[in-house]
Homo-oligomer: A and B are copies of this chain.
Amino acid sequence: MRLIQSHILGSRKPRGTMFKLSKKADYGLIAVKHLALHRQQHACSASEIAGEYGISATLMAKVLQKLAHRSLVVARHGSSGGYQLAKEPSQISALDVISAIDGPVLITSCVTSHGNCDATERCSVKEPLRRVNESILTVLSTVTISQMSEEPQEPALVALRT
Kindly state whether residue A116 has any CB partner on chain B within 8 Å: no
Chain A interface, number of residues (Cβ within 8 angstroms) = 64
* Copies of this chain held together in the complex: 2
Kindly state whether residue A18 has any CB partner on chain B within 8 Å: yes
- Identify the stretch in A6-14, A58-66, A71-79 within 8 Å (CB) of chain B at 4 or more residues: A6-14
CB of A33 to closest CB in B, whole Å: 6
Q: Which residues in A have some Cβ–Cβ distance to B below 8 Å?
A: 8-10, 13, 15-23, 25-26, 29-30, 33-34, 52-54, 94, 98-99, 102-110, 118-120, 122-125, 128-129, 131-132, 135-136, 139-140, 142-143, 147-148, 152-162
Pairs A-B, 5 closest by C-beta atoms: A128-B148, A18-B102, A18-B22, A158-B160, A17-B103
